[in-house]
Amino acid sequence: MDENPALGLLSEIGTAMRRWPTEKHFAAGLGLCPHHKISGGKILARKVRPSANRAATALRLAAQCLPHRHSALGAFFRRLKTRLGAPQALTATAHKLARLGYGLLKYGEAYGAHGMEEYEQAYRERTLQNLIRKATALGYKLLPTTAATPQEAGG
């Protein structure tokens, strides 16, 4: 995160984190969590409430810088952007930044910046484990193969 959004966030919320018992309360207080309109157990609408919270604006500003970064947060934003679209990915990334900032301010947890390659490798391993679990549930067994070159594949 750049220093300007970080200073803006700190000036808005301060360093006393007693107001928010958990990071979920913190993100909801900033207006970065979706609000569910529920009637009869059915979700009718699910969107983030509009607010003029300057701390949330600072986090969104910091999230706007991430698409071009070669970091885990940049890869997270790009993955969400392809699936959800830019506005929702921006809010979700700002929500993630809020959770990281809460841990830093409340517990002094330093963020261990991971590279994009590490994030992609962890994502690949999670996807592979999910595929193995689904195949096993359906009675199949996945076997690793070598990647075929375009000439071998007939292309």
Please name every residue paired with 45 in a beta bridge, in sequence order, or none if there are none. Answer: 37
Residue 18 has pLDDT above 60, yes or no: yes
In a domain, 79, yes or no: yes
What tens digit of pLDDT does each residue of 47-99 get? 777 777 788 888 888 888 888 877 888 888 988 898 989 888 998 999 998 88
Q: What is the DSSP string of 35-73?
A: EEEEETTEEEEEEEPP---HHHHHHHHHHHTGGG--BHH
Mean of pLDDT over the chain:
81
In a domain, 115, yes or no: no
Could you tell me if 31 and 59 are in contact, meaning their C-beta atoms sit under 8 angstroms apart? no
Query: How many other CB atoms are found less than 10 A from the CB of residue 122?
Result: 12
Q: How confident is the model at residue 135 (pLDDT cuts 50, 70, 90)?
A: very high
Q: Which domain holds residue 23?
A: 3-107
pLDDT of residue 51: 73
pLDDT of residue 137: 93
Round to whole Å and give the CA distance between 50 and 73.
24
Q: Which residues of 94-105 are buried (b: 16+ CB within 10 A; e: fewer)?
A: bbbbbebbbbeb
Structurally, the chain folds into a number of domains equal to: 1
The verdict on pTM exceeding 0.85 is no
In a domain, 120, yes or no: no
pLDDT of residue 3: 67
pLDDT of residue 50: 75
Which residues touch 43 (CB under 8 Å, ≥6 apart)?
36, 37
| Mean pLDDT value across residues 8-29 | 80
In a domain, 145, yes or no: no
Round to whole Å and give the CA distance between 108 and 10.
14
In a domain, 89, yes or no: yes
